[in-house]
Structure 1
Amino acid sequence: MNGERNTALGAFLRTRRALVQPEQAGLSTAGRRRVPGLRRDEVARLAGLSAGYYARLEQGHERPTHQTVDSLKRALRLDESATVELHRLARPTRRRRTRGRVERVSPHLLALLNDWTTAPAYVLGWSNDVLARNALASALHSSFVHSDNLHRMIFLDPAGREFFRDWTTTARAAVHDLRQAAHRATDERTLRELVGELAIAGPQFRRLWAEPEPRGPVVHGSHFFHPDVGELHLRTEIFPITSAPGQRLVAQPAEPGSRSADAVVLLSTLAV
């Protein structure tokens, strides 16, 4: 792990394992136990980790992947609020992926994005990687851990269900977008890995991915919630970038004079 030790994560893990009784986890309570709750090796075994790796997590020397975070959630029997806290402390990293190509946003588009100060706006890549955001979009998405890809934000991030108020509509649109990307680039390893990651970690994604393609226009979600400014109703406008096929500029303006417009103004103060 680079940088300083993650002592906060270690303290959280020690506290939470002390709260789980062995019998709750189906473990034997025979013999003398020197620590309250579970021992380190027991948490490691329940989470499918090596004892040494788990010890390094508690010592703050490792940064877990999000798959490890999910395993720890089950082993420590965490509720929803504790799971959100674990994600926040862990800031989990993803497996390094081999990209078929590197996407970059042109300097002209970046300048346009940064000059756009009246609405959240961001650039999506061909597999819905978030390649760039303006200040308002960064403030809008500030509660997300997995902010690098729109699909991870929707299906894997603990903030997703709270942020996307019309979650099912948003999820269906995201699955449609991913199918379209798969049709355009069926040999891209990155896309296959993303679909596999979402299918393993997100049961809702598996269900929607298995459904037949809907007919008619695709509707994108318009109802959002930000913990600092509250409810927002934002129109989603998507503009293809002709100079970079596969990239799209997404703008989300509020209706002028609406309460959501006032909330965007407040959001702009947070962005500053």
Structure 2
Amino acid sequence: MDGDLGRFLRSRRARIRPEDAGLPAHGRRRVSGLRREEVALLAGVSAEYYIRLEQQRVRNVSDEVLDAVARVLRMDGTERAHLRRLLRPPEDRRAPASHVRPGVRMLLDAADSVPAFVLGPRMDVLAWNALADRITGFSAMPEGERNMARQTFLSPRARSLYRDWATVAVEIIAHLRLYAGRHPDDPLLGPLVADLSADPDFARLWEEHRVAEKTFGAKLLRHPELGDLDFAYETLALPGDPDLLVVMYTADPASPTGRTLARLRQDQGLSMRG
């Protein structure tokens, strides 16, 4: 998306206090965080060069300069990779995979002891197993609404379903931002973001330009029929199709959530795999 490099760098500057970077904080400041000139000073480049970098008017930026800017702005590994993609879009811009192989569907069904589903481009939900459907109701959703971002921000039930909705919202947007950096030419991404921007929380969080991999964490639900469910989740990228992610919800078998899953498996005729 045009201009994302400058907005990303500005958002990273805004989160760093001058005193944390070893600079005096006295005097009136018109911007939150570091000024562009201060980033340039700390990174060892001219102010003019850094300004042109934020404006994306610099070609062939060296790895040394990128590393220096990333260091000053305290970027983690994911943010550094995102910065490089914004500056150096990949030459191979094939459309992201959106087809789930039959073997992956069989894998979901075989993982019958835990809820599992596949996320595709733009966080579309492409496939799921029976337990995941029981927890999330994917099969009852219209196909165009089977998208984790749409469900999180546009579904009336989301804020009551997720006990930690604010955390979920940040994770969703950070992953969607990461996807945007990897696939800036995706023609369906812009319309999705436009739809989601109708929600004020999405619009505000989207402008923060956070990026993060969707890897693992906790998912705390308040299910309308099953009550409170405390899951851990793991996310696995599919070999050969890195834009397809298998998400699995897990729970200690001895926990209340684990016992609920055991009851659901029994009710649905699903057996525990040894």
Asked whether the two chains share a fold, i.e. TM above 0.5, the reply is yes
- Root mean square deviation, CA, Å: 2.4
SS at match of 1:245: strand
Distance 1:123 1:112 in 2: 11
2:101 pairs with 1:106: yes
- TM-superposed CA distance for 1:223, in Å, is 0.6
Distance 2:166 2:112 in 1: 29
Contact 1:254 1:260 in 2 (8 A): yes
Distance 1:217 1:195 in 2: 19
1:81-103 deviations in Å (ceiling 9; x for gaps): xxxxxxxxxxxxxxxxxxx6671
Aligned to 2:238: 241
- TM-superposed CA distance for 1:215, in Å, is 8.4
Structure 2: where are the runs of 5+ without partners? Answer: 1-94, 270-274
Aligned to 1:258: 255
- Identity over aligned residues, as a percent? 31
Relative to structure 1, is the Cα distance of residues 162 and 153 closer, same or farther in structure 2, using a 3 angstrom cutoff?
A: same
Aligned to 2:180: 182
Aligned to 2:194: 196
Tell me the number of residue pairs that the alignment of Structure 1 and Structure 2 aligns.
172
1:165-214 deviations in Å (ceiling 9; x for gaps): 100000000000100110011111111111111002x1110111112427
Distance 1:216 1:247 in 2: 13
Distance 2:217 2:101 in 1: 26
2:113 pairs with 1:118: yes
- TM-superposed CA distance for 1:122, in Å, is 0.2
Kindly indicate which of the two structures has a greater share of residues assigned to strand.
2
Contact 1:145 1:157 in 2 (8 A): no
Structure 1: where are the runs of 5+ without partners? Answer: 1-99
Contact 2:218 2:230 in 1 (8 A): no
Relative to structure 1, is the Cα distance of residues 109 and 126 closer, same or farther in structure 2, using a 3 angstrom cutoff?
A: same
Letter of the 1:139 partner, please give it: R
Query: TM-score with structure 2 length normalisation?
Result: 0.58
1:22-78 deviations in Å (ceiling 9; x for gaps): xxxxxxxxxxxxxxxxxxxxxxxxxxxxxxxxxxxxxxxxxxxxxxxxxxxxxxxxx
SS at match of 2:235: strand
SS at match of 2:222: strand
The 10-residue stretch of structure 1 (134-143 or 111-120) with the greater mean CA deviation from structure 2? 134-143
Distance 2:167 2:213 in 1: 14
SS at match of 2:122: coil
Distance 1:115 1:239 in 2: 16
Letter of the 1:228 partner, please give it: E
2:132 pairs with 1:134: no
- TM-superposed CA distance for 1:256, in Å, is 2.3
The 10-residue stretch of structure 1 (128-137 or 261-270) with the greater mean CA deviation from structure 2? 261-270
- TM-superposed CA distance for 1:216, in Å, is 10
1:115-154 deviations in Å (ceiling 9; x for gaps): 1111110000021100001000111112874651000111
Query: TM-score with structure 1 length normalisation?
Result: 0.58
- TM-superposed CA distance for 1:164, in Å, is 1.1
Distance 1:199 1:269 in 2: 42
Relative to structure 1, is the Cα distance of residues 242 and 214 closer, same or farther in structure 2, using a 3 angstrom cutoff?
A: closer
Contact 2:108 2:129 in 1 (8 A): yes
Contact 1:169 1:221 in 2 (8 A): no
Distance 2:202 2:109 in 1: 33
Distance 2:193 2:163 in 1: 23
Relative to structure 1, is the Cα distance of residues 203 and 129 closer, same or farther in structure 2, using a 3 angstrom cutoff?
A: same
Distance 2:189 2:268 in 1: 32
